[in-house]
Amino acid sequence: MKNILGYLHSNLTPGEAGSLFWVTVYVLLVFAGVATIVMFMNWFERKAMAHMQVRLGPMRVGPHGLLQPVADALKLLLKEDLMPANADKLVFWFAPVTVVMTAFCGFIVVPFGPTHAITDMNIGVLFMLGVSSLSVLGVIMGGWASNSNYPLMGSLRSGAQMVSYEVAMAMAVVSAVMMSSMATGTGTLSMIGIVRAQMQQHVWFAFSFFPVGLIAFAVFAIAMVAETNRAPFDLPEAESELVAGFLTEYSGFRWSLFFLAEYAAMIAVSSIATTLWLGGWLRPFPNLLAGKNWDLAFSLVPGLSFMVAAGLCFFFYTRMPKIRAMRANAIGQAGLGCFLFALGVVLMLPGVHERIQDIYWFTLKVLGFMYLYIWYRATFPRYRFDQLMKIGWKVLLPISIGVVILTALIGVRQELFALVWR
């Protein structure tokens, strides 16, 4: 008991503190949080794409279709559990499980805040890359076990694609890791360490060694879209060519597992990008606008933003037509407004607002990436397979290798300057 309460005053992640209780709590929290974001993304993607495509998107289930993901999830769970007659039963069953497990494993090291990570590994980035690249295994298993042509081709494409883009991705990561060694002299692969290094160097690595950091960031941002099989690199599940790619034979709960894994993987790679280049949990201008007052002001932003959202809910509630058919919707919207307002108040309570703001900024940055994913999907046509390979091997890989070399050269030069100056 003492250990459990004692952790609250420590400055460690639960993994470092070795507290099994808090690790379990954190794992459950992260799982619930990621699952919630996936549900939210399901709704948000449909809404954002709908508005880009001059239509409304889901409007019926709950206010502005907010409950649509719940309805979808229920539908998927209630569907008949189908398995093709000629499928390899065991592998077919195991494939979605593999994909989900690998997608969620990566979150062990994601730092939502200086202490808000399940654990801090000294090889965090490597762990994350390694685990996320394992998901290709599940995809290939799924495609092969379906014993059907479309899934087979989809999984072959997926395998080739994920393996090729991994290389460019890793090279871009190396550049960020090298940057983390600048102030202290020793680089780190720990996710928390990398964010701390950005704090010490007073710069997000995306803007470090301008424009080298930015190029590395761009390479990663492109490679991560390909890595997660999203448009315009969504060849493995290219609807107009391969029907649904490796997902063709999956339906119901198994399909929803793949869906969950896809979005979880998107969040995972977005978290890597956020951590490595966009300052992780750091709020905007932590050094420039330092001081007690600024700290307080920024820590109130999460609560305020929820309150603004609540205000919007109330505002649109007043503009809803006062008719019987809209009554349930109107009540729902007002209820949502109240909930958001209450959440905003809770987030502003003393004791909460100092702790919550790291998570808030981190999530906000990740959601920015998620919005980009949606934007890409609504904007770009799809690449062809050979073009995709060309971009991976002939464009991104040379650029990322060049970035690594440049980072090293600039870094060495700066260190030498610093030595001479001293």
Partner 1 sequence: MSDKQFYESLDEVEPGHTFLGSNELVLNMGPQHPSTHGVLRVILKLDGEKVNGLECVLGYLHRGIEKVAESRTWTQFAPFVDRLDYTAAVSNSLGYCLAVEKMLGVEVPKRAQYLRVILTELCRLASHQIWLGTHLLDIGAVTPLFYTFRDREYILNIFEKYCGARLTNHAFRIGGCRWDAYEGFSKEILHLCDDLLPKIDEYRELITGNRIWLQRTKNVGYISVEDCRSYSITGPVLRASGVCWDVRKAQPYSSYEDFEFDIPTGTASDTFDRYVVRVEEMRQSIRIIRQAVEGLAEGPIIAKVPKVIKPPVGEVYVSIEAPKGELGYFIVSDGSAQPYRVRVRPPSFINLQALEKMSKGSLVADVVAIIGTLDIVLGEVDR
Residues in contact with partner 1 by CB under 8 A are 49, 52-55, 149-150, 153, 157, 231-232, 234-235, 238-243, 377-387
The tally of CA atoms less than 13 A away on the side-chain side of residue 222 is: 20
Per the listing, tokens 């883009």 go with: 165
Rounded to whole angstroms, the Cα distance separating 153 from 151 reads: 5
Closest distance to partner 1 from the beta carbon of 116 (Å): 37
For partner 1, give the closer residue by CB, 253 or 385: 385
Closest distance to partner 1 from the beta carbon of 221 (Å): 17
For partner 1, give the closer residue by CB, 223 or 282: 223
For partner 1, give the closer residue by CB, 192 or 266: 266
Rounded to whole angstroms, the Cα distance separating 273 from 218 reads: 10
For partner 1, give the closer residue by CB, 53 or 287: 53
Per the listing, tokens 């981190």 go with: 362
Closest distance to partner 1 from the beta carbon of 56 (Å): 11
Closest distance to partner 1 from the beta carbon of 312 (Å): 26
Query: Quick count: other Cβ atoms within 10 Å of Cβ 242?
Result: 21
Query: If you write DSSP's letter for every residue of 386-415 in order, what string do you get?
Result: HHHHHIIIIIIHHHHHHHHHHHHHHHHHHH
Is the CB of residue 125 less than 8 Å from the CB of residue 374? no
DSSP state of 205: G
Residues with Cβ within 8 Å of 200's Cβ and at least 6 positions away in sequence, in order, are 183, 184
For partner 1, give the closer residue by CB, 327 or 394: 394
Closest distance to partner 1 from the beta carbon of 252 (Å): 20
For partner 1, give the closer residue by CB, 5 or 54: 54
User: Position 401: which residue type?
Assistant: I
DSSP state of 391: I
Closest distance to partner 1 from the beta carbon of 241 (Å): 5
